[in-house]
Amino acid sequence: MKQQKEVTIKEQAKSAAGVKAVFISLQQIFSRMSVKNSLNVLSKLNQKEGIDCPGCAWPDPSHRSKLGEFCENGVKAIAEEAMEKKADPAFFAKHSVQDLQNQSDYWLGQQGRLTHPMILRENDTHYSPISWKEANKIIGQELNNLNNPNEAAFYTSGRTSNEAAFLYQLFVRMYGTNNLPDCSNMCHESSGVALSKTVGIGKGSVTLDDLYKAEVILIFGQNPATNHPRMLACLEKAKKNGAKVIAINPLKEAGLINFKNPQNATGVIGSGVDIADYYLQIKINEDVALLKAIMFKLFKLSENKPEILDQDFINNKTAGFKEFKEEILSYNLESLINKTGITTQEIDAVVELLANNQKIIACWGMGLTQHVNGVDNIQEVVNLLLMKGSIAKEGAGTCPVRGHSNVQGDRTMGIAEKPSKALLDKISENFGFTPPKEHGYSVVEAITAMYHKNVKVFIGMGGNFLSAAPDTNYTTQALQNCNLTAHISTKLNRSHLTPGKTALILPSMGRTDKFEKNGKAQFITVENSMGVVHSSKGVLTPPSKEVESEPVIVANIAKATLKNSKVDWDFLTDDYNNIRDLIDKTIEGFENFNERVKQPIGFELPNGSRTGNFTTPNKKANFTVNQLGNIAPASDEYIMMTTRSHDQFNTTIYGLDDRYRGIYNGRMVVFMNREDVAKNNLKKGDKVTLYNNYNNMNRQVDGFSVVPYDIPKGCVATYYPESNPLVPIDLIAHSSHTPSSKSIKVKIKK
Ligand SMILES: Nc1nc2c(c(=O)[nH]1)N[C@H]1C(S)=C(S)[C@@H](COP(=O)(O)OP(=O)(O)OC[C@H]3O[C@@H](n4cnc5c(=O)[nH]c(N)nc54)[C@H](O)[C@@H]3O)O[C@H]1N2
Ligand SMILES: Nc1nc2c(c(=O)[nH]1)N[C@H]1C(S)=C(S)[C@@H](COP(=O)(O)OP(=O)(O)OC[C@H]3O[C@@H](n4cnc5c(=O)[nH]c(N)nc54)[C@H](O)[C@@H]3O)O[C@H]1N2
Ligand SMILES: [Mo]
């Protein structure tokens, strides 16, 4: 990759947002789009019956701000998607694949929207244009040439609409496989697994209203100022109503310290609001130890004050309490606390708060899910809520904060490598075929299968599989081993540059694009992080006439692949209401879909963990016994988390700054504890190599600049995706198989 300019390292910020956020977002959008288009999109962004922001999945409040219901990073997402520059056939004629491989991710994204279907045939140096008809024919032929449908894998990234996702999974199952790896395999899969087992549904239980009514809000392993900025306005309101916020994070993230809401006077000219009342700066992957210590102390307190636990709830609504309590009390408290790196006094303050309140909400992000014991992390959080009876009550419950704007919806639509029996039965009833039952490949399994040539065709519905996946070099080889790789994309990315024998880029419309069929403007639907389904309708003219909507792309691939399909694919894409009618018949909770989605704020899906109807096999909420983090680094090893800068959306790099962490003009940095920096005879700005050796395989990335930082000793942080070559393919969470991208052992050399 091309050398970046020298990185500048400044002080960490102690507050997030403010007027600067407004300034930066307007600069981003006006430099990429016309004023007319910018204002057109912004006036509708997240408004009722408007455009759902293609950024994160944070829900919209029932009252929408007239000043604009969006955040700095939402505007960056729009500017990135709707930029007017184009990566057209002339661009691809000018740049060879090899030339493009040498460019940074940032540069690739700045080349503009994809405009035409493009093909790279074996031994070609450049992508060249191809007709849709020809492209679909190649896909159909390659799929039909396989010995077995399980030799193909169909990836989805969480921006795909409900309508496209439903058609995609239907096509894939009619073709004959459940190989539907999904970005959630790398994301909140640990939450889904843990919540399904403990409370019967793999989604969170709270609504925005609950957050406004909570007494205590715990925020584990999440950086809302960057990744869910509108959550800060929600926390501001919750705090005004009296909530106390506890942040549990190895890094002192600016937005968890203080928030200056650009929409009100204290945020613009005042000092903003402090968010975290308590900040537990935990060592990486010691959340289970902390939770066990907290619960140990709660049990001890309850000996004199039994009312601090919800005995009624425990007796009537849960199972497994006795074993759970015994396990917690079997620990040596001091050694638990020592593991966390947090003082007893700090823990006691939090225990007191938890003892004296019942309306407790736990929020979490990737800091809990992406560890070998990621599922344990979340189950332990659930244990705490259950012993307090803090679920299925106003102001209390679980809040996994989802990533992509429709990642939750895609799963609801049946994008699942392990589909439920109920879904398969409904599909068979409604579509007259027997869908495959055996489990398909998750992301990591799909990569391994491609590597070993057991999967030979890869199709990606959105996303950037190569850069998002662990073990970049291994995954590169895996994709290159395929006969065909085809990516349905809005923008150029690195996955397009690691082609199989034949590679296709299929240009897709995004959220902001207007899609009309037979003179009628179509809308799509999405489900937010709190299970509300609502519509979204684009307003901009797509970048070229060749760009297609996702449902149409899927339908045409299906037509070119399936012989004697009983589904009338053209009828479905003629009017998206026809797709929604099928969703209505197939997916639980979508009865009267086309009617209910007309409500400007959409509708809520059923959720047993919200109402206290736990849909686990024993109909109870289940306590569990969970594993402590167990990484055991050698004396010269560090535990590395890979995280997001403020200027990126996953693998899409909006810019080269991370101003809340004081980083400007570059991304190749390693945040280190100041004592560790000194111990290694390093200083600020020194260039180092990070490397490791899991299972006798050497993995190494060069060129990180050292940043002395406020991070616990023994822990380091780098940015994803640059550090993904260091994430071993087989270092994955128990049960969920999520790559352990927040706890990787590394060594550091100059
Ligand atoms: N602007 C923007 N918005 C986004 C995204 C984006 O890239 N950019 N990505 C979207 C997606 S797909 C997702 S999943 C979400 C991700 O949103 P987050 O979950 O906020 O993701 P990360 O940036 O990976 O940050 C994880 C946080 O966990 C902390 N952490 C790391 N290890 C540990 C640990 O062991 N314990 C604890 N307690 N904390 C730990 C880190 O310090 C960091 O604050 O955001 C979504 N929204
Ligand atoms: N080391 C490490 N690795 C990680 C993570 C981490 O924290 N650390 N986080 C993981 C997480 S949480 C996630 S969710 C994954 C993300 O994995 P992905 O979802 O695969 O990655 P994105 O970067 O979100 O995908 C960006 C690409 O999507 C395409 N795109 C954007 N919008 C649209 C659209 O509307 N339609 C279509 N068809 N295409 C579109 C564009 O071409 C763009 O280049 O990465 C995971 N990988
Ligand atoms: Mo994610």
pLDDT tens digits, 148-165: 999 999 999 999 999 999
Residue type, 376: D
Nearest CA residue ID for atom 21, ligand 1: 366
- Kind and range of the H or E run holding 293: helix 287-302
Nearest CA residue ID for atom 4, ligand 1: 227
pLDDT tens digits, 172-186: 999 999 999 999 999
Token digits of residue 750? 């100059």
Which one is the CATH code of 87-185+406-509+544-566: 3.40.50.620, 3.90.700.10, 2.120.10.30, 3.40.50.740? 3.40.50.740
Q: Is the pLDDT of residue 2 over 70?
A: no
- Kind and range of the H or E run holding 41: helix 35-44
C-alpha of residue 393 to centroid of ligand 1, in Å: 27
Q: Which ligand is nearest to the CA of 251?
A: 1
Longest dimension (CA), the chain: 77
- Kind and range of the H or E run holding 63: none
Rg (CA), the chain: 25
Q: Please give the angle made by the CA atoms of 690, 692 and 697, to the nearest 5 degrees.
A: 135
- Kind and range of the H or E run holding 590: none
User: Long-range contact list for 77-80, CB < 8 A, 24+ apart?
Assistant: 77/53, 77/649, 78/29, 78/33, 78/41, 78/42, 78/45, 78/53, 78/54, 78/512, 79/28, 79/29, 79/31, 79/32, 79/33, 79/38, 79/654, 80/32, 80/109, 80/491, 80/649, 80/652, 80/654
C-alpha of residue 260 to centroid of ligand 1, in Å: 21
C-alpha of residue 183 to centroid of ligand 3, in Å: 7
User: What average pLDDT does the segment 242-264 reach?
Assistant: 94
Is residue 618 classed as helix, strand or coil in its secondary structure? coil
pLDDT tens digits, 195-250: 999 999 999 999 999 999 999 999 999 999 999 999 999 999 999 999 999 999 99
Q: What is the Cα–Cα distance from 223 to 206, expressed in whole angstroms?
A: 19
C-alpha of residue 468 to centroid of ligand 2, in Å: 6
Q: Where are the beta strands (DSSP E) in 390-450?
A: 397-400
Q: 638-749 sits in which CATH class?
A: mainly beta
Domain ranges of the chain: 8-81, 87-185+406-509+544-566, 189-400, 638-749
Nearest CA residue ID for atom 3, ligand 2: 468
**Which pLDDT band holds residue 4 (cuts at 50, 70, 90)?**
low
CB 211 within 8 Å of CB 361: yes
pLDDT tens digits, 641-685: 999 999 999 999 999 999 999 999 999 999 999 999 999 999 999
CB 106 within 8 Å of CB 656: yes
Among the listed ranges 125-134, 516-525, 615-624, 664-673, which one has the minimum average pLDDT value? 516-525
Q: What is the Cα–Cα distance from 473 to 565, expressed in whole angstroms?
A: 39
Pocket of ligand 2 contains residue 136 by CB under 6 Å:
no
Q: Please give the angle made by the CA atoms of 241, 382 and 289, to the nearest 5 degrees.
A: 105
pLDDT tens digits, 501-520: 999 999 999 999 999 988 88
What kind of fold does domain 189-400 have according to CATH?
Dimethylsulfoxide Reductase; domain 2 (3.40.228)
Q: Which one of 161, 162, 183, 548 would you pick to mutate in the ligand 2 pocket, going by the greatest count of ligand atoms within 8 A of its CB? A: 183
Q: Which one of 12, 24, 56, 647 would you pick to mutate in the ligand 1 pocket, going by the greatest count of ligand atoms within 8 A of its CB? A: 56
Token digits of residue 223? 């950086």
From residue 202, alpha-carbon distances to 139, 304, 531, 610, 636 in Å are 34, 36, 11, 12, 39
SS3 of 326-366: the string is HHHHCCCHHHHHHHHCCCHHHHHHHHHHHHCCCCEEEEECH
C-alpha of residue 727 to centroid of ligand 2, in Å: 17
C-alpha of residue 401 to centroid of ligand 1, in Å: 9
Q: Is the pLDDT of residue 1 over 60?
A: no
Q: What is the Cα–Cα distance from 729 to 177, expressed in whole angstroms?
A: 23
SS3 content of the chain, % helix, strand, coil (to 5): 40, 20, 40
Nearest CA residue ID for atom 23, ligand 1: 644
Nearest CA residue ID for atom 38, ligand 2: 462
Give the position, in ligand 1's atom list, of the atom nearest the Cα of 283: 35
Nearest CA residue ID for atom 24, ligand 1: 643
Cα first-last separation, the chain: 20
pLDDT tens digits, 277-311: 999 999 999 999 999 999 999 999 999 999 999 99
CB 369 within 8 Å of CB 154: no
Q: Which ligand is nearest to the CA of 741?
A: 2
Sort strands 16-17 and 258-260 into parallel, antiparallel or unpaired.
parallel
pLDDT tens digits, 382-405: 999 999 999 999 999 999 999 999
Smallest Cα–Cα separation from 532: which of 461, 463, 610?
Answer: 610
C-alpha of residue 403 to centroid of ligand 1, in Å: 9
Sort strands 152-156 and 457-461 into parallel, antiparallel or unpaired.
parallel
Give the position, in ligand 2's atom list, of the atom nearest the Cα of 187: 12
Give the position, in ligand 1's atom list, of the atom nearest the Cα of 251: 42
Q: Please give the angle made by the CA atoms of 430, 431 and 432, to the nearest 5 degrees.
A: 105
* Residues whose beta carbon lies within 6 Å of some atom of ligand 1: 55-56, 73, 187, 220-223, 226-228, 248-251, 253, 282, 284-285, 287, 365-367, 403-404, 641, 643-644, 648-650, 742
C-alpha of residue 609 to centroid of ligand 1, in Å: 24
Pocket of ligand 2 contains residue 489 by CB under 6 Å:
yes
Q: What is the Cα–Cα distance from 631 to 639, expressed in whole angstroms?
A: 8
Smallest Cα–Cα separation from 75: which of 94, 54, 95, 61?
Answer: 54
C-alpha of residue 572 to centroid of ligand 2, in Å: 27
Q: Which residues contact 532 (CB under 8 A, 6 or more apart)?
A: 59, 601, 602, 603, 604, 605
Sort strands 715-719 and 638-643 into parallel, antiparallel or unpaired.
parallel
Q: If you search the block for the tokens 């399980």, which residue do you land on?
A: 150
Give the position, in ligand 1's atom list, of the atom nearest the Cα of 226: 1
Among the listed ranges 105-114, 513-522, 733-742, which one has the minimum average pLDDT value? 513-522
User: What average pLDDT does the segment 480-499 reach?
Assistant: 98
pLDDT at 517: 86
Pocket of ligand 2 contains residue 191 by CB under 6 Å:
no
C-alpha of residue 642 to centroid of ligand 2, in Å: 15
Nearest CA residue ID for atom 12, ligand 1: 403
Q: Which residues contact 571 (CB under 8 A, 6 or more apart)?
A: 578
Give the position, in ligand 2's atom list, of the atom nearest the Cα of 508: 38
User: What average pLDDT does the segment 612-636 reach?
Assistant: 96
CB 531 within 8 Å of CB 203: yes
Token digits of residue 258? 């203080």
pLDDT tens digits, 21-78: 888 988 889 999 998 998 888 888 888 889 888 999 999 888 877 778 788 899 899 9
Mean pLDDT of the chain: 96
From residue 108, alpha-carbon distances to 111, 145, 718 in Å are 6, 33, 21
- Kind and range of the H or E run holding 534: strand 532-536
C-alpha of residue 401 to centroid of ligand 3, in Å: 9
Hey, how many other C-beta atoms are within 10 angstroms of the C-beta on 473?
Answer: 13
